[in-house]
Structure 1
Amino acid sequence: MTQNVVISGYGWLASYVGNALSGKVNIVGTTRSQQKRLALQDQGITAIEYALGEDTSALCNHLPNATLLLNIPPGRRNTDLASYTNNMLQLIDAAISVKVAHIVFISTTSVYGDATNEVVSEVSTTQPQTASAKAHVTIEDYLLSKRGKVDISIVRLAGLVGPDRHPARSLSGKQLDAGNKRINLVHVYDIVSALTTIICGKPLNDVIHLCSLSHPKRGIYYVDAAKAMDIDAPRFSDTEAEPAGKVIDAAQSWARLNITPEYSDPYRMF
Protein backbone atom coordinates (compact mmCIF):
# COMPACT_ATOMS: atom_id res chain seq x y z
CA MET A 1 0.00 0.00 0.00
CA THR A 2 1.33 3.45 -0.92
CA GLN A 3 2.13 5.57 2.10
CA ASN A 4 0.00 8.66 2.68
CA VAL A 5 1.93 11.79 3.62
CA VAL A 6 -0.38 14.57 4.69
CA ILE A 7 1.26 18.00 4.62
CA SER A 8 -0.74 20.45 6.67
CA GLY A 9 0.34 23.89 5.56
CA TYR A 10 1.39 23.53 1.91
CA GLY A 11 3.54 26.63 1.59
CA TRP A 12 7.08 27.46 0.49
CA LEU A 13 8.89 24.66 2.33
CA ALA A 14 6.18 22.09 1.64
CA SER A 15 6.44 22.69 -2.10
CA TYR A 16 10.09 21.58 -2.04
CA VAL A 17 9.29 18.59 0.17
CA GLY A 18 6.35 17.60 -2.00
CA ASN A 19 8.46 17.71 -5.17
CA ALA A 20 11.07 15.47 -3.55
CA LEU A 21 8.45 12.95 -2.39
CA SER A 22 6.50 12.91 -5.65
CA GLY A 23 6.25 9.38 -6.97
CA LYS A 24 7.44 7.87 -3.68
CA VAL A 25 4.32 8.45 -1.59
CA ASN A 26 0.76 9.65 -1.99
CA ILE A 27 0.76 13.35 -1.06
CA VAL A 28 -2.19 15.11 0.52
CA GLY A 29 -1.81 18.84 1.06
CA THR A 30 -3.89 21.40 2.91
CA THR A 31 -4.28 25.02 1.92
CA ARG A 32 -6.52 27.84 3.02
CA SER A 33 -7.48 29.04 -0.47
CA GLN A 34 -9.55 27.52 -3.25
CA GLN A 35 -7.14 28.88 -5.86
CA LYS A 36 -4.18 27.14 -4.22
CA ARG A 37 -6.21 23.94 -3.83
CA LEU A 38 -6.91 23.88 -7.55
CA ALA A 39 -3.26 24.60 -8.34
CA LEU A 40 -2.15 21.70 -6.14
CA GLN A 41 -4.66 19.39 -7.80
CA ASP A 42 -3.19 20.33 -11.17
CA GLN A 43 0.15 19.07 -9.80
CA GLY A 44 -1.38 15.69 -8.97
CA ILE A 45 -1.66 16.40 -5.25
CA THR A 46 -4.78 15.53 -3.30
CA ALA A 47 -5.65 18.96 -1.92
CA ILE A 48 -7.96 19.94 0.90
CA GLU A 49 -9.13 23.41 1.86
CA TYR A 50 -8.38 23.65 5.55
CA ALA A 51 -7.47 26.45 7.94
CA LEU A 52 -6.24 25.77 11.45
CA GLY A 53 -9.18 25.71 13.85
CA GLU A 54 -11.68 24.45 11.28
CA ASP A 55 -13.38 21.07 11.33
CA THR A 56 -10.79 18.33 10.79
CA SER A 57 -13.11 15.62 9.40
CA ALA A 58 -12.02 15.87 5.77
CA LEU A 59 -8.36 15.96 6.80
CA CYS A 60 -8.75 13.01 9.17
CA ASN A 61 -10.09 10.84 6.35
CA HIS A 62 -6.52 10.70 5.03
CA LEU A 63 -4.69 10.28 8.34
CA PRO A 64 -5.11 6.61 9.43
CA ASN A 65 -1.65 4.96 9.20
CA ALA A 66 -0.31 8.11 7.50
CA THR A 67 2.56 10.49 8.21
CA LEU A 68 1.34 13.98 9.13
CA LEU A 69 3.81 16.77 8.44
CA LEU A 70 2.74 19.71 10.59
CA ASN A 71 4.08 22.81 8.89
CA ILE A 72 1.73 25.54 10.11
CA PRO A 73 3.62 28.52 11.54
CA PRO A 74 1.66 31.02 13.64
CA GLY A 75 2.28 33.82 11.16
CA ARG A 76 4.06 37.07 11.90
CA ARG A 77 0.82 39.06 12.16
CA ASN A 78 -0.97 36.57 14.38
CA THR A 79 -1.40 38.10 17.82
CA ASP A 80 -3.66 35.32 19.16
CA LEU A 81 -1.03 32.72 19.95
CA ALA A 82 -3.21 31.03 22.58
CA SER A 83 -5.79 30.24 19.90
CA TYR A 84 -3.08 29.06 17.51
CA THR A 85 -1.58 26.77 20.15
CA ASN A 86 -4.93 25.31 21.21
CA ASN A 87 -5.93 24.67 17.61
CA MET A 88 -2.65 22.90 16.94
CA LEU A 89 -3.12 20.68 20.00
CA GLN A 90 -6.67 19.87 18.89
CA LEU A 91 -5.41 18.94 15.42
CA ILE A 92 -2.82 16.66 17.01
CA ASP A 93 -5.50 15.02 19.16
CA ALA A 94 -7.74 14.52 16.14
CA ALA A 95 -4.91 12.90 14.20
CA ILE A 96 -4.04 10.56 17.05
CA SER A 97 -7.71 9.62 17.49
CA VAL A 98 -7.84 8.24 13.94
CA LYS A 99 -4.54 6.34 14.36
CA VAL A 100 -2.11 8.53 12.48
CA ALA A 101 1.20 6.64 12.36
CA HIS A 102 3.77 9.42 12.55
CA ILE A 103 3.67 13.17 13.24
CA VAL A 104 6.57 15.30 12.01
CA PHE A 105 6.47 18.79 13.53
CA ILE A 106 8.38 21.64 11.91
CA SER A 107 9.65 23.71 14.81
CA THR A 108 12.27 26.43 15.12
CA THR A 109 15.60 27.06 16.81
CA SER A 110 14.09 30.27 18.19
CA VAL A 111 12.90 28.07 21.08
CA TYR A 112 16.36 28.76 22.60
CA GLY A 113 15.86 32.52 22.63
CA ASP A 114 18.59 35.06 21.96
CA ALA A 115 19.93 35.57 25.46
CA THR A 116 22.62 32.92 25.31
CA ASN A 117 26.13 32.99 23.85
CA GLU A 118 26.42 29.23 24.21
CA VAL A 119 26.66 26.37 21.75
CA VAL A 120 23.18 24.85 21.80
CA SER A 121 22.73 21.10 21.36
CA GLU A 122 19.58 19.08 20.84
CA VAL A 123 19.31 18.48 24.59
CA SER A 124 19.89 22.07 25.69
CA THR A 125 17.17 23.71 27.79
CA THR A 126 14.73 25.80 25.78
CA GLN A 127 14.44 29.48 26.72
CA PRO A 128 11.73 30.88 24.46
CA GLN A 129 11.36 34.65 24.57
CA THR A 130 8.82 35.46 21.86
CA ALA A 131 5.18 34.40 21.86
CA SER A 132 5.81 32.32 18.75
CA ALA A 133 8.74 30.49 20.33
CA LYS A 134 6.71 29.81 23.48
CA ALA A 135 3.91 28.38 21.34
CA HIS A 136 6.36 26.07 19.58
CA VAL A 137 7.73 24.80 22.90
CA THR A 138 4.20 24.07 24.15
CA ILE A 139 3.41 22.10 20.99
CA GLU A 140 6.73 20.24 21.13
CA ASP A 141 6.17 19.25 24.77
CA TYR A 142 2.64 18.09 24.02
CA LEU A 143 3.82 15.93 21.13
CA LEU A 144 6.62 14.40 23.16
CA SER A 145 4.09 13.49 25.85
CA LYS A 146 2.23 11.42 23.25
CA ARG A 147 5.13 9.10 22.47
CA GLY A 148 3.88 5.55 22.86
CA LYS A 149 0.58 6.45 21.21
CA VAL A 150 2.17 7.77 18.01
CA ASP A 151 5.63 8.17 16.52
CA ILE A 152 6.93 11.72 16.81
CA SER A 153 9.71 13.60 15.00
CA ILE A 154 10.42 17.22 15.97
CA VAL A 155 12.60 19.17 13.57
CA ARG A 156 13.95 22.53 14.76
CA LEU A 157 14.95 24.64 11.77
CA ALA A 158 17.47 27.46 11.71
CA GLY A 159 16.91 30.46 9.41
CA LEU A 160 15.66 29.36 6.00
CA VAL A 161 17.59 29.87 2.77
CA GLY A 162 16.74 28.64 -0.72
CA PRO A 163 17.32 29.36 -4.40
CA ASP A 164 14.57 31.98 -4.24
CA ARG A 165 15.06 33.08 -0.63
CA HIS A 166 17.97 34.61 1.26
CA PRO A 167 17.93 36.94 4.32
CA ALA A 168 20.47 39.25 2.68
CA ARG A 169 17.74 40.48 0.34
CA SER A 170 15.51 41.73 3.17
CA LEU A 171 18.53 43.30 4.92
CA SER A 172 19.78 45.06 1.79
CA GLY A 173 20.74 48.71 2.36
CA LYS A 174 19.73 48.75 6.03
CA GLN A 175 21.70 50.13 8.97
CA LEU A 176 21.82 47.41 11.63
CA ASP A 177 23.49 46.67 14.93
CA ALA A 178 25.05 43.52 16.40
CA GLY A 179 27.28 42.73 13.44
CA ASN A 180 29.20 40.39 15.73
CA LYS A 181 26.18 38.12 16.20
CA ARG A 182 26.67 34.63 14.75
CA ILE A 183 24.35 33.36 12.06
CA ASN A 184 22.41 30.10 12.06
CA LEU A 185 21.07 29.20 8.63
CA VAL A 186 19.92 26.08 6.81
CA HIS A 187 19.34 25.52 3.10
CA VAL A 188 16.03 24.13 1.92
CA TYR A 189 17.73 21.38 -0.09
CA ASP A 190 19.32 20.06 3.11
CA ILE A 191 15.98 20.29 4.89
CA VAL A 192 14.38 18.26 2.10
CA SER A 193 17.09 15.60 2.39
CA ALA A 194 16.44 15.34 6.12
CA LEU A 195 12.66 15.29 5.91
CA THR A 196 12.69 12.72 3.12
CA THR A 197 14.90 10.49 5.27
CA ILE A 198 12.62 10.93 8.30
CA ILE A 199 9.37 10.41 6.40
CA CYS A 200 10.51 7.45 4.32
CA GLY A 201 12.65 5.89 7.04
CA LYS A 202 12.43 5.38 10.76
CA PRO A 203 10.68 7.98 12.96
CA LEU A 204 12.95 9.80 15.39
CA ASN A 205 10.76 9.94 18.50
CA ASP A 206 13.07 12.77 19.46
CA VAL A 207 14.19 16.32 18.61
CA ILE A 208 16.79 17.23 15.99
CA HIS A 209 18.40 20.43 14.69
CA LEU A 210 18.81 21.35 11.05
CA CYS A 211 21.44 24.04 10.64
CA SER A 212 24.65 24.69 8.73
CA LEU A 213 27.89 23.67 10.40
CA SER A 214 29.64 27.06 10.39
CA HIS A 215 28.49 30.33 11.92
CA PRO A 216 30.22 33.49 10.66
CA LYS A 217 29.41 36.92 12.05
CA ARG A 218 26.41 38.44 10.37
CA GLY A 219 28.19 41.76 9.83
CA ILE A 220 30.65 39.97 7.59
CA TYR A 221 28.45 37.30 6.05
CA TYR A 222 25.51 39.44 4.95
CA VAL A 223 27.79 42.08 3.46
CA ASP A 224 29.61 39.38 1.48
CA ALA A 225 26.29 37.85 0.42
CA ALA A 226 24.93 41.20 -0.77
CA LYS A 227 28.05 41.83 -2.83
CA ALA A 228 27.77 38.36 -4.40
CA MET A 229 24.10 39.03 -5.23
CA ASP A 230 24.89 42.50 -6.57
CA ILE A 231 22.48 44.24 -4.19
CA ASP A 232 23.06 47.08 -1.74
CA ALA A 233 24.94 45.74 1.27
CA PRO A 234 23.61 46.30 4.78
CA ARG A 235 25.78 48.25 7.22
CA PHE A 236 26.40 46.81 10.67
CA SER A 237 27.83 48.17 13.89
CA ASP A 238 29.89 46.03 16.28
CA THR A 239 31.19 43.73 13.56
CA GLU A 240 34.72 43.89 14.97
CA ALA A 241 33.58 42.86 18.46
CA GLU A 242 34.02 39.32 19.77
CA PRO A 243 31.53 36.84 18.25
CA ALA A 244 28.29 36.67 20.23
CA GLY A 245 24.94 34.93 20.13
CA LYS A 246 23.93 31.29 20.18
CA VAL A 247 25.40 28.66 17.92
CA ILE A 248 23.04 25.90 16.83
CA ASP A 249 25.04 22.67 16.85
CA ALA A 250 23.44 20.28 14.36
CA ALA A 251 26.39 17.92 13.90
CA GLN A 252 24.83 15.08 15.89
CA SER A 253 21.52 15.44 14.07
CA TRP A 254 23.11 15.25 10.62
CA ALA A 255 25.14 12.23 11.75
CA ARG A 256 22.02 10.56 13.12
CA LEU A 257 20.33 10.99 9.74
CA ASN A 258 23.50 9.81 7.97
CA ILE A 259 23.45 13.00 5.91
CA THR A 260 26.34 15.26 5.02
CA PRO A 261 24.63 18.60 4.39
CA GLU A 262 25.38 19.98 0.93
CA TYR A 263 25.26 23.51 2.33
CA SER A 264 27.21 23.03 5.56
CA ASP A 265 29.00 26.31 4.75
CA PRO A 266 26.66 29.33 4.52
CA TYR A 267 28.96 30.80 1.86
CA ARG A 268 27.64 28.13 -0.50
CA MET A 269 24.11 29.47 -0.07
CA PHE A 270 24.43 32.42 -2.46
Structure 2
Amino acid sequence: MSNKVIICGYGWLGGYLANALETRSLIATTRDKTKARTIQENGITPVLYTLGDDSAALASHFHRATLVLNIPPGRKKPELSEFTQQMKALIDKAVKAQITHIVFISTTSVYGDANNGVIDETSTPQPETASAVAHVAIEQHLLFHATHNHCKVNIVRLAGLTGPDRHPINSLRGKTLQAGNKPVNLVHVHDVVAALTSMIAQVPTQKVFHLCSLSHPKRGEYYTHAAHQRNVEAPEFSDTELPLHGKQIDASQSWQALGITPEYAHPNQMI
Protein backbone atom coordinates (compact mmCIF):
# COMPACT_ATOMS: atom_id res chain seq x y z
CA MET A 1 0.00 0.00 0.00
CA SER A 2 1.23 3.46 -0.94
CA ASN A 3 0.02 6.70 0.57
CA LYS A 4 0.73 8.45 -2.76
CA VAL A 5 -1.84 7.91 -5.50
CA ILE A 6 -1.52 9.14 -9.08
CA ILE A 7 -4.76 9.36 -11.06
CA CYS A 8 -3.56 9.36 -14.65
CA GLY A 9 -6.57 10.63 -16.58
CA TYR A 10 -8.57 12.82 -14.20
CA GLY A 11 -11.97 12.58 -15.84
CA TRP A 12 -15.47 11.84 -14.56
CA LEU A 13 -14.50 8.68 -12.67
CA GLY A 14 -11.25 10.25 -11.47
CA GLY A 15 -13.13 13.04 -9.74
CA TYR A 16 -15.25 10.60 -7.76
CA LEU A 17 -12.19 8.53 -6.86
CA ALA A 18 -10.23 11.59 -5.72
CA ASN A 19 -13.06 12.61 -3.38
CA ALA A 20 -12.89 9.18 -1.75
CA LEU A 21 -9.09 9.32 -1.40
CA GLU A 22 -8.83 12.81 0.08
CA THR A 23 -6.80 11.59 3.07
CA ARG A 24 -3.97 10.47 0.76
CA SER A 25 -1.36 12.40 -1.18
CA LEU A 26 -2.97 12.80 -4.61
CA ILE A 27 -1.50 13.65 -8.00
CA ALA A 28 -3.75 13.94 -11.05
CA THR A 29 -3.07 14.45 -14.73
CA THR A 30 -5.11 16.60 -17.09
CA ARG A 31 -4.61 18.02 -20.56
CA ASP A 32 -6.39 21.27 -19.70
CA LYS A 33 -4.72 24.22 -17.92
CA THR A 34 -8.01 25.52 -16.52
CA LYS A 35 -8.84 22.11 -15.10
CA ALA A 36 -5.35 21.91 -13.63
CA ARG A 37 -6.08 25.04 -11.60
CA THR A 38 -9.34 23.54 -10.35
CA ILE A 39 -7.53 20.33 -9.38
CA GLN A 40 -4.97 22.34 -7.43
CA GLU A 41 -7.72 24.28 -5.64
CA ASN A 42 -9.08 20.94 -4.48
CA GLY A 43 -5.80 20.11 -2.75
CA ILE A 44 -4.51 17.78 -5.47
CA THR A 45 -1.16 18.16 -7.23
CA PRO A 46 -1.90 18.67 -10.95
CA VAL A 47 0.35 17.51 -13.77
CA LEU A 48 -0.33 18.76 -17.30
CA TYR A 49 0.07 15.66 -19.42
CA THR A 50 -1.17 14.30 -22.74
CA LEU A 51 -0.38 10.70 -23.63
CA GLY A 52 2.64 10.70 -25.93
CA ASP A 53 4.11 13.90 -24.46
CA ASP A 54 7.33 14.04 -22.48
CA SER A 55 6.40 12.24 -19.26
CA ALA A 56 9.33 13.47 -17.12
CA ALA A 57 7.16 15.64 -14.85
CA LEU A 58 4.70 12.79 -14.31
CA ALA A 59 7.46 10.20 -13.88
CA SER A 60 8.99 12.22 -11.05
CA HIS A 61 6.02 11.10 -8.91
CA PHE A 62 6.15 7.38 -9.79
CA HIS A 63 8.56 6.09 -7.13
CA ARG A 64 6.68 4.02 -4.54
CA ALA A 65 3.30 5.33 -5.70
CA THR A 66 0.02 3.72 -6.75
CA LEU A 67 -0.84 4.55 -10.36
CA VAL A 68 -4.49 4.47 -11.41
CA LEU A 69 -4.27 4.35 -15.19
CA ASN A 70 -7.52 5.66 -16.67
CA ILE A 71 -6.83 7.07 -20.13
CA PRO A 72 -9.54 6.06 -22.64
CA PRO A 73 -8.49 5.52 -26.25
CA GLY A 74 -11.51 7.15 -27.86
CA ARG A 75 -14.27 4.85 -29.06
CA LYS A 76 -14.51 6.04 -32.66
CA LYS A 77 -10.83 5.89 -33.59
CA PRO A 78 -10.38 3.15 -36.22
CA GLU A 79 -6.71 2.52 -35.48
CA LEU A 80 -5.14 2.55 -32.04
CA SER A 81 -1.64 1.08 -32.43
CA GLU A 82 -0.04 4.43 -31.53
CA PHE A 83 -2.22 4.76 -28.43
CA THR A 84 -1.34 1.20 -27.40
CA GLN A 85 2.41 1.75 -27.82
CA GLN A 86 2.26 5.03 -25.89
CA MET A 87 0.41 3.36 -23.01
CA LYS A 88 2.95 0.52 -22.95
CA ALA A 89 5.81 3.03 -22.91
CA LEU A 90 4.23 4.90 -19.99
CA ILE A 91 3.80 1.63 -18.08
CA ASP A 92 7.45 0.69 -18.78
CA LYS A 93 8.60 4.05 -17.43
CA ALA A 94 6.48 3.59 -14.29
CA VAL A 95 7.90 0.12 -13.67
CA LYS A 96 11.44 1.36 -14.22
CA ALA A 97 10.82 4.15 -11.67
CA GLN A 98 9.78 1.49 -9.11
CA ILE A 99 6.06 2.15 -9.06
CA THR A 100 4.48 0.18 -6.21
CA HIS A 101 1.13 -0.70 -7.73
CA ILE A 102 -0.70 -0.17 -11.04
CA VAL A 103 -4.50 -0.26 -11.29
CA PHE A 104 -5.61 -0.30 -14.93
CA ILE A 105 -9.17 0.72 -15.75
CA SER A 106 -10.19 -1.65 -18.54
CA THR A 107 -13.58 -2.63 -19.95
CA THR A 108 -15.82 -5.68 -20.32
CA SER A 109 -15.97 -4.87 -24.04
CA VAL A 110 -12.80 -7.01 -24.30
CA TYR A 111 -15.21 -9.96 -24.51
CA GLY A 112 -16.94 -8.68 -27.64
CA ASP A 113 -20.59 -9.28 -28.48
CA ALA A 114 -20.27 -12.76 -29.95
CA ASN A 115 -20.22 -14.32 -26.48
CA ASN A 116 -23.45 -15.70 -25.13
CA GLY A 117 -24.05 -16.60 -21.51
CA VAL A 118 -22.14 -15.98 -18.31
CA ILE A 119 -18.69 -14.38 -18.55
CA ASP A 120 -16.48 -14.55 -15.48
CA GLU A 121 -12.95 -13.38 -14.72
CA THR A 122 -11.43 -16.55 -16.23
CA SER A 123 -13.22 -16.18 -19.60
CA THR A 124 -11.03 -15.57 -22.64
CA PRO A 125 -11.29 -12.08 -24.17
CA GLN A 126 -12.57 -11.91 -27.76
CA PRO A 127 -12.09 -8.24 -28.68
CA GLU A 128 -13.98 -7.03 -31.75
CA THR A 129 -13.36 -3.26 -31.77
CA ALA A 130 -10.13 -1.28 -32.01
CA SER A 131 -10.66 -0.05 -28.45
CA ALA A 132 -11.15 -3.57 -27.10
CA VAL A 133 -8.06 -4.84 -28.97
CA ALA A 134 -6.03 -1.99 -27.45
CA HIS A 135 -7.27 -2.74 -23.94
CA VAL A 136 -6.38 -6.43 -24.27
CA ALA A 137 -2.86 -5.57 -25.48
CA ILE A 138 -2.32 -3.19 -22.55
CA GLU A 139 -3.67 -5.76 -20.09
CA GLN A 140 -1.24 -8.38 -21.42
CA HIS A 141 1.65 -5.93 -21.14
CA LEU A 142 0.78 -5.27 -17.51
CA LEU A 143 0.48 -8.97 -16.74
CA PHE A 144 3.94 -9.50 -18.26
CA HIS A 145 5.36 -6.93 -15.83
CA ALA A 146 3.46 -8.53 -12.95
CA THR A 147 5.08 -11.88 -13.75
CA HIS A 148 8.60 -10.84 -14.76
CA ASN A 149 9.22 -7.60 -12.88
CA HIS A 150 7.25 -8.28 -9.70
CA CYS A 151 5.07 -5.21 -10.22
CA LYS A 152 1.76 -5.33 -8.37
CA VAL A 153 -1.00 -5.09 -10.96
CA ASN A 154 -4.79 -5.07 -10.86
CA ILE A 155 -6.88 -4.96 -14.05
CA VAL A 156 -10.42 -3.68 -13.56
CA ARG A 157 -12.87 -4.52 -16.33
CA LEU A 158 -15.81 -2.16 -15.95
CA ALA A 159 -19.31 -2.77 -17.27
CA GLY A 160 -21.27 0.24 -18.53
CA LEU A 161 -20.64 3.02 -16.01
CA THR A 162 -23.52 4.97 -14.49
CA GLY A 163 -23.84 7.51 -11.70
CA PRO A 164 -25.96 10.30 -10.24
CA ASP A 165 -25.25 12.47 -13.29
CA ARG A 166 -24.77 9.77 -15.94
CA HIS A 167 -27.13 7.08 -17.26
CA PRO A 168 -27.47 5.39 -20.70
CA ILE A 169 -31.15 6.33 -21.01
CA ASN A 170 -30.05 9.93 -21.61
CA SER A 171 -28.60 8.93 -24.99
CA LEU A 172 -31.08 6.13 -25.80
CA ARG A 173 -34.37 7.95 -25.23
CA GLY A 174 -36.66 8.08 -28.22
CA LYS A 175 -34.46 5.85 -30.38
CA THR A 176 -35.46 2.71 -32.29
CA LEU A 177 -33.05 -0.06 -31.38
CA GLN A 178 -32.48 -3.76 -31.88
CA ALA A 179 -31.76 -6.68 -29.54
CA GLY A 180 -34.07 -5.83 -26.68
CA ASN A 181 -33.43 -9.33 -25.32
CA LYS A 182 -29.72 -8.68 -24.65
CA PRO A 183 -28.73 -8.54 -20.96
CA VAL A 184 -27.96 -5.22 -19.30
CA ASN A 185 -24.44 -5.00 -17.83
CA LEU A 186 -24.06 -1.83 -15.77
CA VAL A 187 -22.15 -0.71 -12.70
CA HIS A 188 -22.61 2.36 -10.51
CA VAL A 189 -19.71 4.75 -9.93
CA HIS A 190 -20.14 4.56 -6.13
CA ASP A 191 -19.58 0.79 -6.24
CA VAL A 192 -16.60 1.24 -8.56
CA VAL A 193 -15.03 3.76 -6.19
CA ALA A 194 -15.59 1.41 -3.25
CA ALA A 195 -13.77 -1.33 -5.17
CA LEU A 196 -10.89 0.91 -6.26
CA THR A 197 -10.30 2.34 -2.78
CA SER A 198 -10.25 -1.21 -1.43
CA MET A 199 -7.67 -2.27 -4.05
CA ILE A 200 -5.49 0.76 -3.34
CA ALA A 201 -5.57 0.07 0.40
CA GLN A 202 -5.11 -3.70 0.31
CA VAL A 203 -3.43 -4.50 -3.07
CA PRO A 204 -5.17 -7.84 -3.71
CA THR A 205 -3.25 -10.73 -5.24
CA GLN A 206 -6.04 -11.39 -7.73
CA LYS A 207 -5.04 -9.77 -11.02
CA VAL A 208 -8.28 -9.40 -13.02
CA PHE A 209 -11.52 -8.03 -11.60
CA HIS A 210 -15.01 -7.59 -13.02
CA LEU A 211 -17.14 -4.73 -11.73
CA CYS A 212 -20.77 -5.09 -12.70
CA SER A 213 -24.19 -5.26 -11.05
CA LEU A 214 -25.40 -8.68 -9.95
CA SER A 215 -28.66 -8.62 -11.98
CA HIS A 216 -29.08 -8.51 -15.75
CA PRO A 217 -32.56 -7.56 -16.98
CA LYS A 218 -33.37 -7.41 -20.69
CA ARG A 219 -32.40 -4.15 -22.38
CA GLY A 220 -35.86 -3.61 -23.83
CA GLU A 221 -37.55 -3.99 -20.46
CA TYR A 222 -34.97 -2.09 -18.45
CA TYR A 223 -34.61 1.01 -20.62
CA THR A 224 -38.37 1.29 -21.08
CA HIS A 225 -38.71 1.23 -17.30
CA ALA A 226 -35.86 3.72 -16.89
CA ALA A 227 -37.49 6.11 -19.37
CA HIS A 228 -40.80 5.97 -17.49
CA GLN A 229 -39.03 6.53 -14.18
CA ARG A 230 -37.21 9.57 -15.56
CA ASN A 231 -40.22 10.84 -17.48
CA VAL A 232 -38.47 10.86 -20.88
CA GLU A 233 -39.46 9.35 -24.21
CA ALA A 234 -38.91 5.59 -24.11
CA PRO A 235 -36.73 3.90 -26.72
CA GLU A 236 -38.32 1.17 -28.84
CA PHE A 237 -36.53 -2.18 -28.93
CA SER A 238 -37.07 -5.18 -31.19
CA ASP A 239 -36.85 -8.76 -29.88
CA THR A 240 -37.61 -7.90 -26.24
CA GLU A 241 -40.11 -10.77 -26.09
CA LEU A 242 -37.44 -13.31 -27.07
CA PRO A 243 -35.49 -15.27 -24.42
CA LEU A 244 -32.52 -13.50 -22.84
CA HIS A 245 -29.52 -13.86 -25.17
CA GLY A 246 -26.04 -12.36 -24.93
CA LYS A 247 -23.14 -11.95 -22.54
CA GLN A 248 -23.81 -11.55 -18.84
CA ILE A 249 -20.87 -10.21 -16.88
CA ASP A 250 -20.52 -12.18 -13.67
CA ALA A 251 -18.73 -10.06 -11.06
CA SER A 252 -19.77 -12.04 -8.00
CA GLN A 253 -16.33 -13.53 -7.40
CA SER A 254 -14.66 -10.12 -7.68
CA TRP A 255 -17.04 -8.47 -5.22
CA GLN A 256 -16.50 -11.38 -2.83
CA ALA A 257 -12.71 -11.15 -3.16
CA LEU A 258 -12.89 -7.46 -2.26
CA GLY A 259 -15.29 -8.07 0.62
CA ILE A 260 -17.84 -5.70 -0.94
CA THR A 261 -21.57 -6.09 -1.39
CA PRO A 262 -22.46 -3.66 -4.20
CA GLU A 263 -24.87 -0.98 -3.08
CA TYR A 264 -26.37 -0.89 -6.56
CA ALA A 265 -26.74 -4.64 -7.12
CA HIS A 266 -29.66 -4.24 -9.56
CA PRO A 267 -29.71 -1.74 -12.46
CA ASN A 268 -33.11 -0.48 -11.27
CA GLN A 269 -31.30 1.06 -8.29
CA MET A 270 -29.21 3.18 -10.69
CA ILE A 271 -32.13 4.98 -12.35
Instruction: Give TM-score scaled by structure 1 length.
Output: 0.97
Distance 2:218 2:117 in 1: 15
The residue number in structure 2 matching 1:224 is 225
Q: Please say if 1:212 is aligned against 2:218.
A: no
Unaligned runs of 5+ in 1: none
Q: In the TM superposition, what is the alpha-carbon distance from 1:200 to its structure 2 partner?
A: 1.2
SS of alignment partner, residue 145 of structure 2? coil
The residue number in structure 2 matching 1:173 is 174
Amino acid at match of 2:197: T
Q: In the TM superposition, what is the alpha-carbon distance from 1:76 to its structure 2 partner?
A: 2.4
Distance 2:9 2:159 in 1: 19
Distance 1:204 1:234 in 2: 42
The residue number in structure 1 matching 2:3 is 3
RMSD: 1.2
SS of alignment partner, residue 94 of structure 2? helix
Q: In the TM superposition, what is the alpha-carbon distance from 1:205 to its structure 2 partner?
A: 4.8
Q: Could you say if the C-alpha distance between residues 150 and 205 of structure 1 is closer, same or farther in structure 2, counting changes exceeding 3 Å?
A: farther
Amino acid at match of 1:269: M
Q: In the TM superposition, what is the alpha-carbon distance from 1:2 to its structure 2 partner?
A: 7.2
Distance 1:13 1:204 in 2: 24
Q: In the TM superposition, what is the alpha-carbon distance from 1:201 to its structure 2 partner?
A: 1.3
The residue number in structure 2 matching 1:18 is 18
Q: Give the conservation status (yes or no) of the 8 Å contact 2:215–2:266.
A: yes
SS of alignment partner, residue 240 of structure 1? coil
The residue number in structure 2 matching 1:51 is 50
Instruction: Give TM-score scaled by structure 2 length.
Output: 0.97
The residue number in structure 2 matching 1:262 is 263
Q: Give the conservation status (yes or no) of the 8 Å contact 1:6–1:29.
A: yes
The residue number in structure 1 matching 2:89 is 90
Distance 1:95 1:115 in 2: 35
Q: Please say if 1:240 is aligned against 2:241.
A: yes
Amino acid at match of 1:41: Q
SS of alignment partner, residue 27 of structure 2? strand
The residue number in structure 2 matching 1:192 is 193
Distance 2:236 2:22 in 1: 42
Distance 2:77 2:19 in 1: 29
Q: Could you say if the C-alpha distance between residues 213 and 71 of structure 1 is closer, same or farther in structure 2, counting changes exceeding 3 Å?
A: same
Structure 1 stretches of 4+ with a deviation exceeding 2 A read 76-80, 202-205
Q: Could you say if the C-alpha distance between residues 258 and 269 of structure 1 is closer, same or farther in structure 2, counting changes exceeding 3 Å?
A: same
Q: Deviations over 1:201-246 (max 9, x none)?
A: 1233510100000000000000000100111110111100111110
Distance 1:169 1:2 in 2: 38
Amino acid at match of 2:66: T
Distance 1:241 1:17 in 2: 39
Tell me the number of residue pairs that the alignment of Structure 1 and Structure 2 aligns: 269
Unaligned runs of 5+ in 2: none
Q: Could you say if the C-alpha distance between residues 2 and 178 of structure 1 is closer, same or farther in structure 2, counting changes exceeding 3 Å?
A: closer
Amino acid at match of 1:248: I
Q: Give the conservation status (yes or no) of the 8 Å contact 1:2–1:26.
A: no
Q: Give the conservation status (yes or no) of the 8 Å contact 2:2–2:66.
A: no
Q: How do 1:122-201 residues align onto structure 2 when only pairs under 5 Å count?
A: 122-147=121-146, 148-201=149-202
